[in-house]
Amino acid sequence: MLKKTFFSLLASALMAVNTGASDEIALAFSYDDSALTWGPCPAFIGEGCQIAVLHGDPAKENLDIFFKVPADFAIPHHWHTSAERMVLVSGKLRVTYDNQESEVLTKGMYAYGPSKLPHTAYCEKGDEPCVLFIAFEEPIDAFEVVKETPGK
């Protein structure tokens, strides 16, 4: 009887912890979902680049976004404070991190970008935009890498 009561109390406590742990709701989006709000990327990336926040607050840790650029679009040399965990959702994207070989991402491929490692990217010509799901660990940012001109 004591064992049965203990396990009943334990099960009740675990259920209480489980159900009360989060007020969040489950979410699901496709990149062409009309419920998404698309906003501009940092100006240095260029017109045509858009970001949609899927989950989280851009000023806080643990943010998920869609990053979208049109086909035949070059993303300039830049870096982020946060590491990036990415999955290409649409298009074909060539990504080049400093001192590494380029990788060509196709739909469904995963990529990891280390914190503060500068990189460029190019969305290849085609019928689809490049849409990248990105999970940031730190608040979102992007810093342009500006090469200094010798003698200045």
Structure-block tokens of residue 87: 């999955």
Which pLDDT belongs to residue 152?
57
Question: Among the listed ranges 11-25, 43-57, 100-114, which one has the minimum average pLDDT value?
Answer: 11-25
Which pLDDT belongs to residue 7?
37
Write down all domains in the chain, each with its CATH number in brackets: 38-144 (2.60.120.10)
Split at pLDDT 50, 70, 90, the class of 20 is very low
Which pLDDT belongs to residue 13?
38
Long-range contacts of 9-18 (CB under 8 A, 24+ apart): none
Q: Using an 8 Å Cβ cutoff, are 86 and 110 in contact?
A: yes
Q: What is the pTM of this model?
A: 0.81
Q: Using an 8 Å Cβ cutoff, are 123 and 105 in contact?
A: no
Average pLDDT over residues 144-152: 78
- CA 15/CA 9 separation, integer angstroms: 10
Split at pLDDT 50, 70, 90, the class of 113 is very high
- 77 contacts: CB under 8 Å, gap ≥ 6: 118, 119, 120, 144, 145, 147
